Structure 1
Amino acid sequence: MAKRHKQPEYSAAERALIAELDLGDRTMIPIRSLVDCSLVRLFWEDWRRSDARDPMWIATPGDHDENELHRVDGWPEYGDGTVERKWSRRARLWMSWFSIDAWHVCDWLVNAVSDGEQWLWNLDDAGHPRKLTKCGNLQRLVHEATKGLRQRNAEVARQIVLGPNDERFMHDLGVGHTLVRLCSRAALRKEGTLMHHCIGQGSYDDFLDDPDVVLASVRDPDGDPLATLEVRGGYIRQFRARANAEPSEAVKDLVAGAADTFGWQDWRDRPGYRADNQDYGPEAVVILRDLPPPRRRG
Structure 2
Amino acid sequence: MAKWQSHPEYPAAVLALLAELDIADRVLLPIRSLVECSLARIYWADWRRSDARDPKWTTTPGDHDEPELHRVDGWPEFGVGRVERKWSRRARLWMSWHSIDAWHVADWFVNAVSDGDEWLLNLDASGHPKKLMKCGTLDRLVHEATKGLRQRNAQAARELVLGPNDEHFVADLGAGHTLVRMLSIAALRREGALMHHCIGLGGYDPFLDDPNVLLLSVRDPDGDSLATLEVQSGYIRQFRGRGNSEPAPAVMDLVSGAAHVHGWQDWRDRPRSRDRDPGSAAILRDPPHTRRRE
TM bracket (short chain): over 0.9
Are positions 1:283 and 2:281 aligned together?
no
Which whole-Å deviations, capped at 9, do the CAs of 1:187-230 have from their partners, x for residues lacking one? 11111111011111111111111111111000001110000000
User: Residues 60 and 66 of structure 1 are in contact (CA less than 8 Å); yes or no, is this contact kept in structure 2?
Assistant: no
User: Residues 56 and 71 of structure 2 are in contact (CA less than 8 Å); yes or no, is this contact kept in structure 1?
Assistant: yes
CA change 1:33–1:266 in 2 (3 A) is same
> Shift of the alpha carbon at 1:65?
9.3
Task: Report the 3-state secondary structure (helix = DSSP H, G, I; strand = E; otherwise coil) of the residue aligned with 1:42.
Answer: helix
1:124 alignment partner AA: D
Task: Report the 3-state secondary structure (helix = DSSP H, G, I; strand = E; otherwise coil) of the residue aligned with 2:214.
Answer: strand
User: Residues 167 and 187 of structure 2 are in contact (CA less than 8 Å); yes or no, is this contact kept in structure 1?
Assistant: yes
TM-score normalised to the size of structure 2?
0.94
TM-score normalised to the size of structure 1?
0.93
Which whole-Å deviations, capped at 9, do the CAs of 1:115-151 have from their partners, x for residues lacking one? 1111111111111111000001000000000011001
> Shift of the alpha carbon at 1:283?
2.2
User: Residues 213 and 231 of structure 1 are in contact (CA less than 8 Å); yes or no, is this contact kept in structure 2?
Assistant: yes
User: Residues 105 and 141 of structure 2 are in contact (CA less than 8 Å); yes or no, is this contact kept in structure 1?
Assistant: yes
CA change 1:289–1:251 in 2 (3 A) is closer
2:285 alignment partner AA: L
Alignment of 1:2-41 (within 5 A): 2-41=2-41
Give 1:224's aligned residue. 224
Give 1:74's aligned residue. 74
Deviates more, 1:66-75 or 1:153-162: 66-75
The structure 1 segments of at least 4 consecutive aligned residues displaced by more than 3 Å after TM superposition are 63-66, 286-290
1:193 alignment partner AA: A
Q: How far, CA to CA, are the matches of 1:237 and 1:208 in structure 2? A: 15
Task: Report the 3-state secondary structure (helix = DSSP H, G, I; strand = E; otherwise coil) of the residue aligned with 1:180.
Answer: strand
Are positions 1:149 and 2:143 aligned together?
no
Which whole-Å deviations, capped at 9, do the CAs of 1:71-117 have from their partners, x for residues lacking one? 10111111111101110110000000000000000000110111111
Task: Report the 3-state secondary structure (helix = DSSP H, G, I; strand = E; otherwise coil) of the residue aligned with 1:214.
Answer: strand
User: Residues 240 and 247 of structure 2 are in contact (CA less than 8 Å); yes or no, is this contact kept in structure 1?
Assistant: yes
Give 2:267's aligned residue. 267
Alignment of 1:202-281 (within 5 A): 202-273=202-273, 281=275
Name stretches of at least 5 consecutive residues in structure 1 with no aligned partner.
Answer: none
User: Residues 265 and 284 of structure 2 are in contact (CA less than 8 Å); yes or no, is this contact kept in structure 1?
Assistant: no
Task: Report the 3-state secondary structure (helix = DSSP H, G, I; strand = E; otherwise coil) of the residue aligned with 1:237.
Answer: strand
Q: How far, CA to CA, are the matches of 1:249 and 1:106 in structure 2? A: 25
User: Residues 260 and 284 of structure 2 are in contact (CA less than 8 Å); yes or no, is this contact kept in structure 1?
Assistant: no
CA change 1:18–1:2 in 2 (3 A) is same
Are positions 1:99 and 2:99 aligned together?
yes
1:141 alignment partner AA: L
Give 1:158's aligned residue. 158
Q: How many residues align?
A: 288
Q: How far, CA to CA, are the matches of 1:151 and 1:191 in structure 2? A: 15
Task: Report the 3-state secondary structure (helix = DSSP H, G, I; strand = E; otherwise coil) of the residue aligned with 2:172.
Answer: strand
Give 1:172's aligned residue. 172
> Shift of the alpha carbon at 1:246?
0.4
